[in-house]
Amino acid sequence: MAGRARLPFLALLGLGLGGCNAGLVGATLAVMGAGAVISYDCPGYLTVRLRDELTGAELCGEPVLARDRDRERRLFTCATMALPHGTWELRAERGGASTSVEIERPARCERWVYDVELDLPTP
């Protein structure tokens, strides 16, 4: 008789544990879903090089202003920096050399690096 009394208790205990497991699985899926939404907008990466036309020397650490509509970023030459997707206008603060680059949204969040070279005009 005591064995039969334990059967409903074990069944309820199993349902309770199943509920906890379902809750944990649900919470895990929610966190993974939030991570997928956050990582959906993976940036592209950009390396800007500024070259002195007169000497051919590469100038590192020079500030470059990047603009895409209402977004603006300050980059530095010789450094690889993240930029969201868009068409960015780049202008070196030194010498005013400029160009544009289109950063595409990478497939499956692959790391794409765009290399851009600006030539510092001779005086």
CA distances for 13 relative to 23, 25, 27, 42, 88, angstroms: 15, 18, 21, 44, 60
Residues 79, 96 within the same domain:
yes
Dihedral sign (CA 25, 26, 31, 34):
positive
Predicted local distance difference test score (pLDDT) of residue 108: 84
Residue 25: CA atoms inside 13 Å, Cβ hemisphere, count? 6
> Residue 122 is which amino acid?
T
Domain count of the chain?
2
Residue 26: CA atoms inside 13 Å, Cβ hemisphere, count? 6
Predicted local distance difference test score (pLDDT) of residue 109: 87
Chunk the chain into consecutive blocks of 10 residues (it has 123) and report each block's average pLDDT, rounded to whole numbers.
54 54 52 47 93 94 97 97 96 95 88 94 78
Predicted local distance difference test score (pLDDT) of residue 38: 46
Residue 110 — φ and ψ, nearest 5°? Answer: -70, 155
Residues 59, 9 within the same domain:
no
Residues 12, 32 within the same domain:
yes
Residues 32, 68 within the same domain:
no
Q: What is the pLDDT of residues 38-49, one digit of tens each?
A: 445 799 999 999
Nearest to residue 102, comparing CAs of 90, 91, 110? Answer: 90
Q: Which domain holds residue 11?
A: 1-40
pTM: 0.64
Predicted local distance difference test score (pLDDT) of residue 123: 73
Residues 6, 34 within the same domain:
yes
